[in-house]
Structure 1
């Protein structure tokens, strides 16, 4: 754990420059707008250790899988969201001496991510080898109003000299992915141009042939007398820019404003894409920095009004939750059904920027309660559009009749994960897809989604589960062999309780959904029957009912605990406190063989199932399982602490709930797992929000009705959060003696507060004593 980020309710602050922390800060101070994102690399040249990263949503490359062996059905490639054109570059020199923070003496360094406005600021004083001192201030943001645009204002002040100042703003396509399997460069230059005060370059990805065009237009400001500038364009392979020379007097400042456009061929015709980028950069230039900044502030203010969480009396917790909310909103906006959420978002290359089951299990609840329903709907439509590929994925593994296996990792619907025990066996991801459909409809009331898209997906997934199980005479039930549950520290196990539970639930929910659509929309039902050839090869509904009724869900008779998988209770069940402190994390200190034979759990597994279907279990059952499995869990997945925090809250384990909340909330800010340098844990950030709203706030949606059962951690004086539910926007405030629900919409709402039915009238405040 590190503790160098200053505590502040609305800002992420780093004071002092430590090169050893630079890559961590590059991740933490990342910015984005849903279409593109940028790590917090320096504008000026930096020869020290850095992970350069500028990412464009939906643009990827199929990097050939690097394994020493091959199996039938194994993915041929690992898709990667690519490091794209470096648009932030502004090299700086003073009388020919280059500014480089790796070689200069740096004082007064401060970096601030203003979360309220989505703006990154940096300032420092650098002393060059010659003794000349400059003070630098930079401000940059990716616009959430004009989402093709970003802007940088870069100011240099001469502190102890007069001389010649040179800026070299550039666009650099000569970029690499550090996670490239074969050290390959993925971009080919298509065109470039440079003129006085502007430049543009277009690259094409190998194999996938995406085009990305970047352009800039410059403005210059001087705080002294009228200054003379010379601006000369330069152009060479994969690099374009301008060289700006000006004279600067001691005490004077010169500012370069770089208006940038980044456009991909997802949104523009390839034949005109570079012209479009040039036009967009010019439009930003015409609008001006002050107007763009004003619009940015207003747009973020509107976002925060819908999703902010306030915490009184705990600045560390306040800062952390806003940081997580900020990054979620910078990563995904729901405006394009072709886009999804990578575990690192726009902040790094690990996991390739591709989509996992994390989206449905962790991110969907955040967007369901903090945004217009169409945002969450887009996430589901994304999976529907990939249904054909999911059926192809299953067919590669031998499944028939339209059975679908959604990929563990994807960007275009095709499986591209590179580890066999995950690719072939971690099939519980299919259940996350089916539950997401239910979760969306339960929250929004959009029952039409089932007929329009959802039922086709449910049928295909149910066909997979029906074929994946097999009958066991010995167990007198259906079993599922050779799977990996959420706990990836145990592979190739039989009858993983969580996986079997999801299969059972999906089969039952699909049958219910068939009946619902048949009754409500018989025409659409008939279309689906024909399209899917439903019931054409067997009596599917009857068989699904039989499998659901007889699937094995083992329970340990002496304790009443659900057995994680066959053989788990035969292990030596020692708590994680038995592991010597110097051996954490175990995946870095133990052999894989030792991990697999141990009882230690990477993340919630049985408890993931209990969290998902909490309403089906009484408190005693939840407590038995939590008390048994939590001490065995090492939480070496970023997705683990939030689930434990939520369940601990529901059980009244207040200290444990807070401990897990703080760990998940400050996972990246404090670099808990020593891996923030390769990017933030975006999907786990959604879990942080869940820990507050579903955990401490006790928010549940049961049979289409909102329930609140808040608790107040003793470390907090109070807290509030906003949620949207079926057209109502509620601000819920929890104090030591009362729960206040302010309905900020024109729609009244019936809900349950601490088990009692109440009405929250439109535009009124409801106060309930605690």
Structure 2
């Protein structure tokens, strides 16, 4: 852990500038709006260690994969999330000397990420080499209302002198990726213009030809009053700017406002990018910084109404959950079905690709309950539109007849992950995608989705599972060989319990979905059969044969599901007995040593118990939890939330709280020493799950909503909001009572501690806490 940020309910606060923390802060204080994002790089020159990061949604580069290219079916490329042109830059000079926080002294440094209104604020005093002091304030936001606009207000005040201060706002297309091979660059300059008070740049990615346009317009102020300064117009290779210089008195504030428009060929034709960028920039400039910010903060206000979780009595817990919700909203808004939730969002380059199984397993539960149903529907449609690619991916591996294997990592439906044990073996991702369809429908009753999209996906996935298993003459069961489960510290194993379990569940659920569609709309069912060449009688019989005779490893001596064949052959030293100096083990141990150990990176068997919880009694859950959790190092961001939920389920409230803090403050406190690479966006939804599904005990079975709330001893009260069957309700949990508040125009029925209650429209129902 690395705790250097101040606890606050609505803000992330860093006091005092320490360069060794800067790259982590650049991630933590990032901004985004679903269309674009920006790491918390400084506007002014900074010569210290930094990861420059400006990102435009949907733009990537297909980098030739360098591992495993000789293997049949191996991905042709690894998708890089590209660092796009730098739009925040404002060089600052004090009497000809560059302001650079890596070389000058600072006092009263304070960096604040205001999560309630969605802006980044920096305030500090800089002491130049010649002793001159300036007070600096910088505020910026990426607009949630005007989603092609970013805005900066930057002010410098001389404190002990009068002299010349210059601002040079610029746009820089000559950018690099930290993860580039051999210092390769990925952008070509297409167009560039600079005029008085404005500048534009259009760049295009190599290979795929995505275009991005960036424009800026500026105003300058003295003491808050606009002043006209004729700038020096500047151009370099792929770089354009204006230089504004002013003689400034001691104590006089000199400010610049920089309004930036960002467009891309995802939303405009390539030849129209420059015109679109100018139009967008001008529209933002005409509104001005204050009006733009007012609209932006109002959008955030609405988002918090429906998704905020309030915790009383525990500031660290409160800050953690809001930090995670904030970054989820910054990453994905649900307005564009071509986009998805990237594992690093707009905060870093690591992992590449835009879509993992994390979206279905972790993010969809969040969006189902906090956003309009079309947001989740768009995430599911995203996968439907890539079904043909999923079938192609399976065909490359030798599967046939419409079997679909969704990719582990993708931008457009093609597999683009370049580690063989993940690409070929971590096939459990198919199960998460199928379960997401079920999860969406049981929350919304949108059975029409099955007819329109979902059933085709389910058939393709079930066909894959039926071909991926084989009959074991020795076991007299169907088995699944050579897989990697969610626990990536085990590769090329046989009969991973979770994978086998999800495979059988998928075939059973697809069978149920077929019956439902056939009953509701026989014509639609026949069309799907014709389109997919589905042989109902033959294929359904095969699926039933497999599900009835699937092998699941089980240890009768300890009465626990075995994670995979041979797990008990390992040396079992519990995590508590590991040398803390060797943690995290993935940074100190060889991969060979990790693979031979009993240590679990993330919930694996417990992941299956969490997903299919209704199949297991409390004692079964408890036995498996108490066996596996002590062997889990939680070095995946996806792990603590599942353990928190299950610990709450079996009454281990202190363990649930411990795991909640770990998941909610994973990046803020940098548990795994990797925040500098970017944040764990997709696992942030697990933080929400830990509160709502863990402490709140929220479950949905057979279209009915259940709550079984508990409260950690550290909390006085907590509250969360849910959308269920298009009804909006709020749940308030305190030590002695549970309040269900209806914000709906319709009555809502739900079960609290197993008792049916009915919340009338806009009324409050109270029940005693257990």
TM (norm. structure 2) is 0.99
Aligned partner of 1:198 in structure 2 is 198
Unmatched segments (≥5 aa) in structure 1: none
Shift of 1:232: 2.2
Using the TM superposition, name which of 75-84 and 220-229 deviates more.
220-229
Q: In the aligned structure 2, how far is the partner of 1:363 from the partner of 1:224?
A: 43
Over residues 655-703 of structure 1, what are the superposed CA-to-partner deviations in whole Å (9 max), with x where a residue is unaligned? Answer: 1000000011111111111100010111111111100000000001111
Aligned partner of 2:385 in structure 1 is 385
Contact preservation (8 Å) 1:84, 1:175: yes
Q: In the aligned structure 2, how far is the partner of 1:219 from the partner of 1:588?
A: 48
Secondary structure of 1:72's match?
A: coil
Aligned partner of 1:461 in structure 2 is 461
Over residues 433-487 of structure 1, what are the superposed CA-to-partner deviations in whole Å (9 max), with x where a residue is unaligned? Answer: 1111101101111110001000000010111001100011211111010001011
- 1:156 lines up with 2:178 in the alignment: no
Q: In the aligned structure 1, how far is the partner of 2:605 from the partner of 2:470?
A: 22
Q: In the aligned structure 2, how far is the partner of 1:302 from the partner of 1:353?
A: 30
Q: In the aligned structure 2, how far is the partner of 1:105 from the partner of 1:573?
A: 52
Q: In the aligned structure 2, how far is the partner of 1:360 from the partner of 1:177?
A: 28
Aligned partner of 2:502 in structure 1 is 502
Secondary structure of 2:475's match?
A: coil
Aligned partner of 1:92 in structure 2 is 92
Q: In the aligned structure 2, how far is the partner of 1:343 from the partner of 1:414?
A: 17
Contact preservation (8 Å) 2:220, 2:226: no
Using the TM superposition, name which of 690-699 and 595-604 deviates more.
595-604
Secondary structure of 2:230's match?
A: strand
Q: 1:242 to 1:187 in 2, by over 3 A?
A: same
Shift of 1:296: 1.4
Aligned partner of 1:700 in structure 2 is 699
Shift of 1:563: 1.1
Using the TM superposition, name which of 449-458 and 242-251 deviates more.
242-251
Shift of 1:761: 1.1
Q: In the aligned structure 2, how far is the partner of 1:486 from the partner of 1:356?
A: 12
Q: In the aligned structure 2, how far is the partner of 1:481 from the partner of 1:141?
A: 50
Secondary structure of 2:57's match?
A: strand
Over residues 543-596 of structure 1, what are the superposed CA-to-partner deviations in whole Å (9 max), with x where a residue is unaligned? Answer: 011111111112212222111111112222332122222221122222222221
Q: In the aligned structure 1, how far is the partner of 2:132 from the partner of 2:649?
A: 61
Contact preservation (8 Å) 2:353, 2:410: no
Aligned partner of 2:747 in structure 1 is 748
Contact preservation (8 Å) 1:64, 1:181: no
Q: In the aligned structure 2, how far is the partner of 1:190 from the partner of 1:271?
A: 10
Aligned partner of 1:217 in structure 2 is 217
Q: In the aligned structure 2, how far is the partner of 1:745 from the partner of 1:286?
A: 39
Shift of 1:288: 1.2
Contact preservation (8 Å) 1:344, 1:353: no
- 1:112 lines up with 2:128 in the alignment: no
Q: 1:228 to 1:295 in 2, by over 3 A?
A: closer
Contact preservation (8 Å) 1:346, 1:353: no
Q: Residues 241-260 of structure 1: matches in 2 within 5 Å? A: 241-260=241-260
Aligned partner of 1:276 in structure 2 is 276
Shift of 1:252: 0.5
Q: In the aligned structure 1, how far is the partner of 2:119 from the partner of 2:353?
A: 23
- 1:443 lines up with 2:477 in the alignment: no
Shift of 1:77: 0.9
Shift of 1:324: 0.4
Q: In the aligned structure 2, how far is the partner of 1:229 from the partner of 1:570?
A: 76
Contact preservation (8 Å) 1:369, 1:725: yes
Contact preservation (8 Å) 2:172, 2:240: yes
Aligned partner of 1:471 in structure 2 is 471
- 1:340 lines up with 2:365 in the alignment: no
Q: Residues 676-755 of structure 1: matches in 2 within 5 Å? A: 676-755=675-754
Aligned partner of 2:183 in structure 1 is 183
Q: In the aligned structure 2, how far is the partner of 1:360 from the partner of 1:225?
A: 51
Using the TM superposition, name which of 301-310 and 351-360 deviates more.
351-360
Q: Residues 227-242 of structure 1: matches in 2 within 5 Å? A: 229-242=229-242
Q: In the aligned structure 1, how far is the partner of 2:517 from the partner of 2:248?
A: 73
Q: In the aligned structure 2, how far is the partner of 1:279 from the partner of 1:226?
A: 23
Q: Residues 223-372 of structure 1: matches in 2 within 5 Å? A: 223=223, 229-372=229-372
- 1:639 lines up with 2:599 in the alignment: no
Secondary structure of 1:539's match?
A: helix
Shift of 1:616: 0.9
Contact preservation (8 Å) 1:3, 1:670: yes
C-alpha RMSD of matched pairs (Å)? 1.2
- 1:656 lines up with 2:655 in the alignment: yes
- 1:207 lines up with 2:207 in the alignment: yes
Shift of 1:224: 8.0
Shift of 1:228: 5.7
Q: In the aligned structure 2, how far is the partner of 1:447 from the partner of 1:184?
A: 48
Unmatched segments (≥5 aa) in structure 2: none
Shift of 1:337: 0.6
- 1:625 lines up with 2:624 in the alignment: yes
TM (norm. structure 1) is 0.99
Q: Residues 559-570 of structure 1: matches in 2 within 5 Å? A: 559-570=558-569
Over residues 21-62 of structure 1, what are the superposed CA-to-partner deviations in whole Å (9 max), with x where a residue is unaligned? Answer: 000100000000000000000000100110000000000000
Over residues 147-183 of structure 1, what are the superposed CA-to-partner deviations in whole Å (9 max), with x where a residue is unaligned? Answer: 0001000111111111211110000010011112342
Aligned partner of 2:17 in structure 1 is 17
Contact preservation (8 Å) 1:306, 1:371: yes
Contact preservation (8 Å) 1:211, 1:264: yes
Secondary structure of 1:739's match?
A: strand
Contact preservation (8 Å) 2:353, 2:409: no
Q: In the aligned structure 2, how far is the partner of 1:602 from the partner of 1:650?
A: 22
Q: In the aligned structure 2, how far is the partner of 1:580 from the partner of 1:236?
A: 54
Over residues 404-444 of structure 1, what are the superposed CA-to-partner deviations in whole Å (9 max), with x where a residue is unaligned? Answer: 10000111110011111110000000111111110110111
Shift of 1:69: 5.7
Secondary structure of 2:270's match?
A: coil
Contact preservation (8 Å) 1:23, 1:50: yes
Contact preservation (8 Å) 1:187, 1:205: yes
Q: 1:68 to 1:546 in 2, by over 3 A?
A: closer
Over residues 323-373 of structure 1, what are the superposed CA-to-partner deviations in whole Å (9 max), with x where a residue is unaligned? Answer: 000000000000001001111100000111521110100111000010001
Secondary structure of 1:230's match?
A: coil
Shift of 1:67: 2.4
